[in-house]
Structure 1
Amino acid sequence: MYKNALRLGVMILSLFLTMQSVAAANPVNCSVKSKNQWLWNAYLQPTPNWPERAEHAKEDLQPLPAAKSSLENPKAKLGKKLFHDPNLSADGSVSCASCHKASQHRGDERTVSEGVGRAKGRRNAPMLMNVDLWQSFFWDGRAATLQEQALGPLTDPVEMAHTPEKVVSYLKQNEDYASLWQQAYSDAPKTWSNVADALTIYQQTFRSPANPLDKFIKAVESGDKKAAKEQLNTQQLHGLHLYRTKAGCINCHNGALLSDNKFHNTGLHYFGRRFEDLGRYEVTGNVDDMGRFRTPSLRHVMETKPWMHNGLFTQMEGIIRMYEHGGARPKRPKSLAPEKAYPVTSNLLTPFELSDEEREALMEFLEVL
């Protein structure tokens, strides 16, 4: 009888310790107060000790490195004038800055931008902040270098619609550029490649200021818990935890850029319908790339709508709910022949369920970015 009582006591103690362990590992099962304490204890540590992130995330979140260039660089000064000069377009009406506005973090508040003759493209102008961190450029990655990206719009027929020859001729005849060019390139002639170089170096100055997440990470890395707690409130910290775990945002939006620099199909290709856009496939011709677009950076995300490659989305809560359902999952048209390829939504997008409280916390964290 004594042995049975002892055995029962051990079982009860073991069960209690197991429940305590589960509660510590999963804040959802704790009271609000203990959940909040768990979150702070978990995240007031260096990032390698943070709770395990979503399984497909190759990197965790990181603060931005220093900019590669500054406006003190003579080439950047020249690039700034070029970037804001509408005479680099065929009809003198559009500059690079027309679609990449400082007030919009070098993006555009319009669904799609307007080029010469008010011609409209079909994609939302990508934000150029921190552009030097990209490994490819444009939504479809058609430019491999920042130099290619800088020159692309100048000759695009629905953007600036000019030619290299006419741009260089204009620069040679314009005395306003003489001093800046001399300071940047000495006696080197005005060439198309130097236009690309100057524009590139100017765009490398587009660095986002440190946001509360950057400051939080730096504070916890330095062991300054007081400074860290001044950057995020508990709701925002809860949003950070959801971003990294349950919601899986970090699978694609990670690193310093808050983008994995890769291409994914979220189901928004509109195959066979208005707004059809097959993205990366139009560059590579690879059927696996159908409907894939480069992961955008989430820095300044709440200040740079409309969102997505086509600029058709203006409600962040609607976007979050779409991802809760595992992304968009359009059905293959019955009329499409079996041998014909059809875009397949990425398997990185898996359904998850957020409570209203969790969704609000995630939204608050996005505001921090």
Structure 2
Amino acid sequence: MIRLHLVSCLIALAALSACSSEPFSDDEKKIIAQLRLSELGSLEPDQSNRFADDPAAAAFGARLFVDARLSANGLISCASCHDPERQFQDDEPLGKGIGTSTRRTMPLAGAAHGDWFMWDGAKDSQWAQALVPLEDPREHGFSRAGVAQLIAEVYRTEYEAVFGALPEVGGQPDLPQLTLLERDQNHTRGEAEQDQINRVFANVGKSLAAFQRTISLEATRFDRYAAIISDAVEADDRNSFNSLEIEGLKLFIGKAGCIECHNGPRFTDDFFHNTGVPRRDEAPADPGRSAVLESVVGDPFNCLGPYSDAQAEECHALRFMVRDEAAMKGAFKTPSLRGVASRAPYMHAGQLQTLEEVIQHYSDAPAASTGTSEIAPITFTDRGRAALIAFLKTLE
């Protein structure tokens, strides 16, 4: 009888299941405690956007977020891709607006806690990022002058309540045979007029960012279990993990090495890594972060630019950014794993369809299509794969 009990315990321990009432070491408990959403804290001020936490700016931004008039065809709004019913993303492998992008739509909840935005970190603030889709011909396909005119014609009251008097943004030539974007491109304007348009354009981005800062993450079953592990609350059956979920959590913070990049309460280090993700179909290799190192520094809408509200010494991310092009080749921002189980497909261009494929990718650790991959192969058992997925589902 004793021998049978010993064998059963050895089998359970091999599967990292609960033979003991204490499945985690003290060091593991400390790591788990740091992953709780309650450890996230409040948002840091965005020094480059003095309207970032202005309720009126957020309310204005919420209206702009769903307004399809901010597009060349009058059909695309921010919410078209950042669907509130789908974690503010679209479940598509590539973002779809007027055309099709080359990368996935990123979810917005909790994103304001990061320093860099977009898969390649091409923008150093949420308000600067919000401007990109408006001008991208594959997304909204609009123009800065078109945005300014819409504000003047439709949103003057809301704009002036937040930002003060709307500057004179001028008109565009009467060329009805051209699209709005083409009319804007054919309109020659002076430096002062362009600056006024840019300032209205920047303020639209700041309003959109103010709204996005209100999109917060919600606590999950993992957070409740982590509180139990940390002795912050008493255990109950509804919040406890089963043996497979416990094994998955142990793998995540241990042997699997996921915690190296997916750390902190948002399960991301907000940095850029080359993990050897394959190309999508026959698309050219995406250089990722390395391709934007110069443009982000020269961006007129960055933290050091004329439309920022920050002092130069407050622009820490931009001033101390890693500028090693070789190290950043093929590197992309680590996405948050909160809600990941219901957010397929995966990777920056939706190259992998399921979590099983993601785990297989990290198990194989293929060579990168461009640059050098940082990952090494990891051997997973079938149970280990199932355990990791079971754990990731607790982040819903």
Q: Which stretch has the larger CA shift, 355-364 or 213-222?
A: 213-222
CA distance in 2, matches of 1:203, 1:228: 35
1:279-316: per-residue Cα shift (whole Å, max 9, x none)? 11211371322211111111110111111111122121
Q: CA offset at residue 231 of structure 1?
A: 3.9
Q: Which residue of 2 is the match for residue 80 of structure 1?
A: 62
Of 270, 277, 290, the residue aligned with 2:279 is: 270
Larger Rg: 1
Distance 1:228-1:67 versus aligned 2 partners, 3 A rule: farther
Q: Which residue of 2 is the match for residue 142 of structure 1?
A: 122
Q: What pairs with 1:39-118 in structure 2 (closer than 5 Å)?
A: 40-43=21-24, 49-50=27-28, 60-64=34-38, 65=40, 68=43, 73-116=55-98
Distance 1:275-1:109 versus aligned 2 partners, 3 A rule: farther
Of 367, 372, 378, the residue aligned with 1:329 is: 367
Of 239, 244, 260, the residue aligned with 1:235 is: 244
Q: Which residue of 2 is the match for residue 226 of structure 1?
A: 235
* Partner SS for 2:255: coil
CA contact (8 A) 2:18 2:243 kept: no
CA distance in 2, matches of 1:314, 1:168: 40
Q: Which residue of 1 is the match for residue 268 of structure 2?
A: 259
Of 279, 295, 310, the residue aligned with 2:349 is: 310
CA distance in 2, matches of 1:125, 1:180: 28
Q: Which residue of 1 is the match for residue 317 of structure 2?
A: none
When the two chains are superposed, the root-mean-square deviation of aligned CA atoms in Å is 3.1
Q: CA offset at residue 61 of structure 1?
A: 2.2
Distance 1:85-1:227 versus aligned 2 partners, 3 A rule: same
Q: Which residue of 2 is the match for residue 350 of structure 1?
A: 376
CA distance in 2, matches of 1:280, 1:359: 30
1:92-120: per-residue Cα shift (whole Å, max 9, x none)? 1111111111121011111212222xx11
CA distance in 2, matches of 1:30, 1:313: 36
Q: CA offset at residue 330 of structure 1?
A: 5.2
Aligned amino acid, residue 17 of structure 2: N
1:282 corresponds to 2:321: no
Q: Which stretch has the larger CA shift, 122-131 or 229-238?
A: 229-238
Distance 1:51-1:217 versus aligned 2 partners, 3 A rule: closer
CA contact (8 A) 1:216 1:229 kept: no
CA contact (8 A) 1:219 1:228 kept: no
Distance 1:39-1:282 versus aligned 2 partners, 3 A rule: farther
Distance 1:40-1:169 versus aligned 2 partners, 3 A rule: farther
CA contact (8 A) 1:323 1:351 kept: yes
Q: CA offset at residue 322 of structure 1?
A: 1.5
Point out where structure 1 has 5 or more consecutive residues left out of the alignment.
1-22, 332-341
TM-score w.r.t. the length of structure 2 is 0.72
Query: Percent identity, aligned pairs only?
Result: 28
Q: Which residue of 2 is the match for residue 36 of structure 1?
A: 17
Point out where structure 2 has 5 or more consecutive residues left out of the alignment.
1-5, 46-51, 168-199, 295-324
CA distance in 2, matches of 1:298, 1:366: 8
Q: CA offset at residue 158 of structure 1?
A: 1.6
* Partner SS for 1:368: helix
CA contact (8 A) 1:67 1:205 kept: no
CA contact (8 A) 2:280 2:351 kept: no
CA distance in 1, matches of 2:240, 2:57: 36
CA contact (8 A) 2:131 2:202 kept: no
Aligned amino acid, residue 153 of structure 1: P
